[in-house]
A = this chain, B = another copy of it.
Amino acid sequence: MLRIPYSDLYAEMLRVLLGLGFARPRAERGARLFAEASRDGVASHGLNRFPRFVEMARSGVVDVQAEPVCVGSRGPMEQWDGCRGAGNLNAYACMERAIALARLHGLGCVALRNTNHWMRGGSYGWQAAEAGMIGLCWTNTMPNLPPWGARERRIGNNPLVIAVPRAEGHVVLDMALSQFSYGGLARYRLREEMLPVAGGFDPEGRLTHDPAAIEQSGRPLPIGYWKGSGLALLLDLTAALLSGGLATHQISADPHAETALSQVFIALDPCPFGEVDGRARLIDDVIAYVHDAAPAHDGDRIYYPGERTLLTRKANLERGIPVAPAVWHQVQAYDG
């Protein structure tokens, strides 16, 4: 693994996005969102995802020129059409709009249809928290998980993000509804490691810790088995309804053609009726209470969601952003 300065990663991505035809402010935002994902330890939706994004922009699945447009407005609630533009720029714009609505109304809800993969979902949680807002957003995806009891992939892993602003470090949960992503399974397989907990079924239908067996069966587990399966269905339904967009069964199951997704972005003022005495301290107390829990194994420590992101970010900014050399050279070789 190579380490490079954040500014180099950002500059290279910016160069490529400008070359693809993104207007400068949009290219800057896009480069920042991709580079920050790698900076925060989510290379799967940062540098490592960048080549597929470039490919989708070149093939026209992602329309480089398209900007999202508001197609319905009702006070705190809006509906936007992503016009199949860049998924991360669309998502950023819609969370920005939800934040603006929340400043006016206490909360804002923007439902987005016809968009592309939002890349790192956590970005929009951090964005809301940086603005002092609670952020809540989710997306549907192509069918990539079997519903509970089924063999076939017919629900999405529909990532869900919830963020709470906090001076000492925002609390940000960013989770797909599969126990392990396909990328995660591949990483365990390449390291020749077993999963820490059962992650799916083997081809004979038995629960297994073996990542290769799950890749073979195509049956990863939803979190909480039947519970995550139900949650995925409800997130898909609500996103498609509120946005007037497509549901998982209407979305191409080809990862290179996955498009026209539906998403929901909600921002909420954490103190909607004025600062209640001690609300900031309350958040710290909740975190301290969880931190101080006796660990299951001596010497272990308990993390809150988002805590390790900050540790990774700090380390990567100091020591350089880790990049897979092959991908980095591939991106450097793109025409400007």
Interface residues of A (CB under 8 A from B): 71-72, 74-77, 79, 105-107, 109, 134, 136, 146-152, 154-155, 160, 162-164, 171, 173, 175, 179, 197-198, 201, 205, 207, 219, 223-225, 227-228, 230-231, 233-238, 240-242, 244, 247-249, 268-273, 276, 279, 282-283, 285-286, 289-290, 293-297, 300-305
Q: Write out the residue numbers on chain B whose beta carbons fall within 8 Å of the beta carbon of A171.
A: 233-234, 237
Whole-angstrom distance between the alpha carbons of A46 and B287 in the complex? 34
CB-defined contacts of A179 to chain B, threshold 8 Å: 224-225, 227
Given the complex, which residues of B lie within 8 Å of A105, measured CB to CB? 74-77, 105
Q: By DSSP majority rule, is chain A's interface helix, strand, loop, or mixed?
A: mixed
> Hey, which chain B residues are within 8 Å of A201, CB to CB?
296
Q: A105-B77, A234-B173 are in contact. Are A150 and B294 (CB under 8 A)?
A: yes
Are B302 and A148 in contact (CB-based, < 8 A)? Answer: yes
Across the interface, do B150 and A302 meet the contact criterion of CB distance under 8 Å?
A: yes
The answer to whether B149 and A296 have CB atoms under 8 Å apart is: yes
Q: Which residues of B contact A305 (CB under 8 A)?
A: 230, 233-234
Contact B106 A205 (CB under 8 A): no
A296 close to B234 (CB less than 8 A): no
Q: List 12 A-B contacts (CB under 8 A).
A: A75-B105, A77-B268, A149-B300, A150-B295, A152-B294, A171-B234, A179-B225, A219-B296, A240-B282, A247-B285, A248-B286, A249-B285
Residues of B within 8 A of A289 (CB): 154, 248-249
